[in-house]
Amino acid sequence: MRVRLALAACLLSFVLSAQVKLTVEQLRSFIKSAVELKQDDRKVAEYLKKVQMTEQLTDLAVEEMQSMGAGSRTVAELRNLIGSTASLPASKPPAPKPVYVGPTPPDSIEQKRVLDQVKEYALNYSNSLPDFICVQVTRRYVDPSGLESWVHADTITERLSYFEKHEDYKVVLVNNRPVEMAHEKLGGATSSGEFGTMLREIFSPGTATDFEWDRWATLRGRRMHVFSYRVLTSNSQYRITEQESRQSIITGYKGNIYVDRETHAVMKITLDSEDIPASFPIRDVHLTLDYEFQKIGEREFILPLKAGLTSRIGAKALVRNDVEFRMYRKFTAESTIKAIDFEPPPLPPDATTEQPGAKKQP
């Protein structure tokens, strides 16, 4: 960084000693650089006395340069230039900012072909998984204000076994302290069943899910089809349970699925509950589930990377769970994960957020 700043300072010193013709855009860039490099206001003003403009300088342009942080002497000289450039041609408008132009959306035939392949993938997903063990880390947050001012409540680290298509959870740490506790005894908002249940139910024929192609997206560097979907309450099996009152309802839901363009594997699901009765304690639920390639043994499988649950309790209180799946290993009669005596650090935010596409001029 010091090298870049020193080089810029040398260039600016050279400009101050030379007489050049400038466009309005070049003058704007010069003033911006002078402010950023904290050049002496007096020296910049002296240089401006030597400038020959090739375009008309307006009051609006000077006000913009003043807002950048130009000093009082510099602004005075800029205003002197306004009168001397009145007869010059108007400045050219700045070039338009580059905009992203995505690939052409697939036609209806291609959309159907992709969805048919995704359906086959989803319905067979659980059967394709190996037996494995991993670490599940759940960070729980609360916000009584309802303004997303999150307060960390606790962190739960569990050893998760997936054997013969069944999940088994064993709590090993709570806030980095060793414990022995069943998953069901944790209390508060908990999560389980991320290994295919949501995916299978969305694509089950009995669910009669309505799909529509939405857009292209980029996720973890890979191009994705994004389909929106909706499941009516009458066809849903999505159940929400409020633990304290033991009330339970089935609701409809909608969301998006992200489908890898090359493999047609589902790499992300979002879900928002719908039609929750006004009398139910939980007002809304939002879920996300990200999948990623994980190596187990000598093969790679697409397995959960991170799940998120956010819900509103009553009029405004919010709760949030961030669930991460780490340290996948092959499950055998002798296999285990070595003693877990610390919680892994959180995944970086860009691991589960959409990435901007490549920029392209229109």
Residue 291 lies in a domain: yes
| Strand ranges for 127-265 from DSSP E | 132-143, 151-163, 166-174, 177-182, 210-219, 222-231, 239-242, 247-250, 252-260
pLDDT at position 188 is 62
Note whether 112 and 58 are same-domain residues. Answer: no
| pLDDT score of 1 more than 50 | no
Higher pLDDT, residue 235 or 341: 235
Note whether 203 and 299 are same-domain residues. Answer: yes
Range of 34's domain?
9-84
CB 344 within 8 A of CB 328: no
Most confident range, picked from 33-47, 87-101, 331-345: 33-47
Provide the 8-state DSSP code for 123. H
Note whether 189 and 259 are same-domain residues. Answer: yes
Note whether 31 and 165 are same-domain residues. Answer: no
Note whether 79 and 149 are same-domain residues. Answer: no
Note whether 351 and 232 are same-domain residues. Answer: yes
Question: What would the two tokens of residue 39 be?
Answer: 């050049």
- Cα distances (Å, whole numbers) of residue 192 to 138, 158, 266, 357: 11, 11, 19, 33
Assign residue 140 the CATH number of its domain.
2.50.20
Note whether 53 and 159 are same-domain residues. Answer: no
pLDDT digit string (tens) for 130-139?
999 999 999 9
Helices 59-68 + 72-84 axis angle, to 10: 160
Residue 92 lies in a domain: no
Residue 362 lies in a domain: no
Note whether 184 and 296 are same-domain residues. Answer: yes
Cα separation of 115 and 277, whole Å?
32
pLDDT at position 189 is 58
Mean residue pLDDT of the chain comes to: 84
pLDDT digit string (tens) for 24-49?
988 998 899 888 888 889 989 988 88
| pLDDT score of 72 more than 80 | yes
| pLDDT score of 117 more than 70 | yes
Least reliable range by pLDDT among 58-72, 196-210, 211-225, 336-350: 336-350
Residue 94 lies in a domain: no
Question: What would the two tokens of residue 264 be?
Answer: 């047609």
Number of domains the chain is built from: 2
CB 359 within 8 A of CB 100: yes
Note whether 126 and 65 are same-domain residues. Answer: no
Cross-strand bridge partners of residue 289:
269, 307
Tell me the whole-structure pTM to 2 decimals: 0.69
| pLDDT score of 121 more than 70 | yes
Note whether 198 and 334 are same-domain residues. Answer: yes
Note whether 69 and 141 are same-domain residues. Answer: no
| pLDDT score of 5 more than 70 | no
Cα separation of 83 and 53, whole Å?
11
Cα separation of 318 and 225, whole Å?
31
Note whether 66 and 213 are same-domain residues. Answer: no
108 CB-side CA count, 13 A: 0
Residue 361 lies in a domain: no
Provide the 8-state DSSP code for 233. G
Cα separation of 11 and 65, whole Å?
20
Residue 102 lies in a domain: no
pLDDT at position 185 is 64
pLDDT digit string (tens) for 284-323?
999 999 999 999 988 999 999 999 999 998 878 899 999 9
Cα separation of 143 and 320, whole Å?
9
Residue 3 lies in a domain: no
Residue 228 lies in a domain: yes
pLDDT digit string (tens) for 162-178?
888 888 888 888 888 88
| pLDDT score of 246 more than 60 | yes
